[in-house]
Chain A
Amino acid sequence: MNAWTSYRLQDFIPFTAEVYFRLLERMGETFWPLHLLTLGLGAAALTLALRHRPRLACLLPAPLWAFVAVAFFFQRYAALNWAGGYVGNAFIAQAVLLVVMALTGWGMDKAPRSTSPPVILGTAIALFGLIVMPLIAPLSGDSWYQAEVFGLHADPTAVTTLGLLLIMLRGFALWIAAIIPTLWLVVSGLTLQVLGSTGATVLFAILAIVLIGLVWKSIEFKR
């Protein structure tokens, strides 16, 4: 038997659904009421991005990426998956990238039109990450502590940030800044698929919309 073709996706997920969802819940239990602050920062970043203050909007999510790297990946997820430390480093790299972009102004779309389709998509994605994603768990009958929140949990942090990037960046910088959040959502979507969660479909749908937004914005930029 060919060794590589014999591997299946579940061979790379070393924990059960019970453990993963308990991990998300424990993040909520441990850090409540930090949720309010992180959601406030997310809302502020979205407002600033739409009000043509992209550099500040780019700066606000950076500490939250670093926080998720440490509190979620290094301190918790890495205990379950040896690859968790590498993902944590990637989240730190994203935090640094956002800070560098904010300080240098590289790739900033200083006057995004609110009627532009990629900006509309970006706004919708950011609102989805900030408002809808935290409500999915409670509305599914799970505990409020299982609510996945921007700035605390990896998925809504990546989703909201991708939405913000579609509003405030353009050109090559937009694609560069989208790499890490996109890759994480692919990994997370595949993980949820193995764990039998419908959340996988949600993440893949968001990724498809993000991709449309990225391509659309690139075409607009070239015009």
Chain B
Amino acid sequence: MNPRIKHRITRRQSLALIGATFAAMTLPTTSLFANTGGMRYKTFAGTDKQLPVIGMGTWRTFNVGNDPELLDARTEVVKAFFEHGGGLIDSSPMYGSAPDVMGYALQQLGTPESLFSAEKVWSPAGGSAREQVAELKDRWTVDHFDLVQVHNLTDWRDHLAALQEMKTEGVIRHVGITTSHGRRHREIEQIMTSEDIDFVQLTYNITHREVENRLLPLAQERGIGVIANRPYDGGSLIKHLKRRDAPLPEWANEECGCTTWADFLLKFIVSHPAITCAIPATTQVEHMRENMRAGHSPMPSADARQRMADYIESL
């Protein structure tokens, strides 16, 4: 038997699921996870569209230049992502060759219906927002982007105005802004309040929870989708846990089916009601599979989330 599915569901989990189902029936539909098969989905940006709660980042991991061996290896990672129901893939012109590598992978695999392509515009990349988007479309070999974000708020007023125009023209589907590492939150809050944006991308993980205070409630209030970057804190969080051989608490399996640290860390993030999806990045197919499984039911309750955060703090 596959050891990963040996403890797939316990009696306690069954009861929890039944209870959760009844509890969910009393909630407004916008706060619900839509469960289609294994992967959990969430609606976003005040629409009825849905995204799988686990997406894919490409920072560092997909910047392989024109190395044929590594291009094929990353294509296998993308293939595993789609095979496990993946949707959102996030890249940036700042990530070196990552957009080209995505283009290579999509050429090899075809462009699946589920792809939700997310790119960014960035001033040092050169050219206007419109020129950057056109160039990035060529690099990805796609005919449109589902989301274009202003990278780290660089020249955000000019870029956002241009992106809004492009959205109106139907050149792109959604617009957003990004930050990471907890930077410029006051400005992010101001933009979320004053501008009509669909997504905000920010750093949120079990050890970086500052956004829970203001930005995540604001996103819920304004109907803005939230993409959580650095779910493993740039890899250091999961590496640290694995290196010190920290035991995964048994209750985490009982509460929300966590059998790996990837489950534990990602389920914590995507179970926050304001988070649309998390975007872990990896170079390995096995890690991609592990990440994708974390998007499956069950998810931790609010109490379990607090317990998870306390546990990590105690380590």
Assess whether A22 is in contact with B94, with CB atoms less than 8 Å apart: no
Using A3-B183, A6-B182, A82-B125 as known contacts, say yes or no to A16 and B96 having CB atoms under 8 A apart. no
CA A129 to CA B59, docked complex, whole Å = 33
Within 8 A of A (CB), among B265-315: 283
Assess whether B184 is in contact with A15, with CB atoms less than 8 Å apart: no
Using A1-B185, A3-B184 as known contacts, say yes or no to A19 and B63 having CB atoms under 8 A apart. yes
Assess whether A16 is in contact with B67, with CB atoms less than 8 Å apart: no
Q: Which residues of B contact A10 (CB under 8 A)?
A: 234
Give chain A nearest CB distance to B125 CB in angstroms. Answer: 7
Assess whether B182 is in contact with A15, with CB atoms less than 8 Å apart: no
CA A23 to CA B66, docked complex, whole Å = 9
Within 8 A of B (CB), among A1-37: 1, 3, 6-7, 10-11, 13-16, 18-19, 22-23, 26
Q: Which of A1, A6, A7, A14 contacts B63 (CB 8 A)?
A: A14
Q: Which residues of B contact A14 (CB under 8 A)?
A: 59-60, 63, 94-96
CA A76 to CA B70, docked complex, whole Å = 14
CA A18 to CA B65, docked complex, whole Å = 12
CA A26 to CA B96, docked complex, whole Å = 18
Give 1 or 0 for each of B69-103: 1 = CB within 8 Å of chain A CB: 11000000000000000000000011111001000
B124 CB–A CB distance under 8 Å = yes
CA A79 to CA B67, docked complex, whole Å = 10
Q: Which residues of B contact A11 (CB under 8 A)?
A: 181
A81 CB–B CB distance under 8 Å = yes
Q: Which residues of A contact B238 (CB under 8 A)?
A: none
Give chain B nearest CB distance to A6 CB in angstroms. Answer: 5
B64 CB–A CB distance under 8 Å = yes
Q: Which residues of B contact A16 (CB under 8 A)?
A: 60-61, 63, 283
Q: Which residues of B contact A79 (CB under 8 A)?
A: 65-66, 96-97, 100
Q: Which residues of B contact A1 (CB under 8 A)?
A: 181-183, 185
Give chain A nearest CB distance to B138 CB in angstroms. Answer: 15
CA A76 to CA B97, docked complex, whole Å = 10
Using A15-B60, A80-B97 as known contacts, say yes or no to A6 and B65 having CB atoms under 8 A apart. no
CA A11 to CA B235, docked complex, whole Å = 13
Give chain B nearest CB distance to A113 CB in angstroms. Answer: 46
Give chain B nearest CB distance to A203 CB in angstroms. Answer: 22
Assess whether B283 is in contact with A6, with CB atoms less than 8 Å apart: no
Give chain A nearest CB distance to B286 CB in angstroms. Answer: 15
Give chain A nearest CB distance to B99 CB in angstroms. Answer: 11
Contact size range, B: 20 to 34
Within 8 A of B (CB), among A79-114: 79-82
CA A200 to CA B99, docked complex, whole Å = 29
CA A6 to CA B230, docked complex, whole Å = 14
Give 1 or 0 for each of B155-194: 1 = CB within 8 Å of chain A CB: 0000000000000000000000000011111000000000
CA A202 to CA B143, docked complex, whole Å = 48
Q: Which residues of A contact B183 (CB under 8 A)?
A: 1, 3, 6
Q: Which of A7, A18, A81 contacts B70 (CB 8 A)?
A: A18
Q: Which residues of B contact A81 (CB under 8 A)?
A: 96
CA A13 to CA B94, docked complex, whole Å = 11
CA A80 to CA B64, docked complex, whole Å = 7
Assess whether A82 is in contact with B124, with CB atoms less than 8 Å apart: yes
Give chain B nearest CB distance to A219 CB in angstroms. Answer: 42
Q: Which residues of A contact B61 (CB under 8 A)?
A: 16
Output the residue of A18, A23, A79 with the most chain B CB within 10 A.
Answer: A79
List the B residue with the shortest CB-CB distance to A75: B66
List the A residue with the shortest CB-CB distance to B101: A79
List the A residue with the shortest CB-CB distance to B61: A16
Give chain B nearest CB distance to A8 CB in angstroms. Answer: 8
Within 8 A of B (CB), among A117-158: none
Assess whether A18 is in contact with B283, with CB atoms less than 8 Å apart: yes
Give chain B nearest CB distance to A86 CB in angstroms. Answer: 11
Binding site for B on A (CB under 8 A): 1, 3, 6-7, 10-11, 13-16, 18-19, 22-23, 26, 76, 79-82
Binding site for A on B (CB under 8 A): 59-61, 63-67, 69-70, 93-97, 100, 124-125, 181-185, 234, 283
The 4 closest A-B pairs by CB, nearest first: A79-B65, A3-B183, A80-B96, A79-B97
Beyond A15-B96, A19-B65, 5 additional pairs, beta carbon < 8 A: A14-B95, A15-B64, A22-B70, A79-B96, A80-B63
Identify 10 residue pairs between A and B in the complex whose beta-carbon atoms are under 8 Å apart, listed by A's number. A1-B185, A14-B59, A15-B96, A16-B283, A19-B64, A19-B70, A76-B65, A82-B96, A82-B124, A82-B125
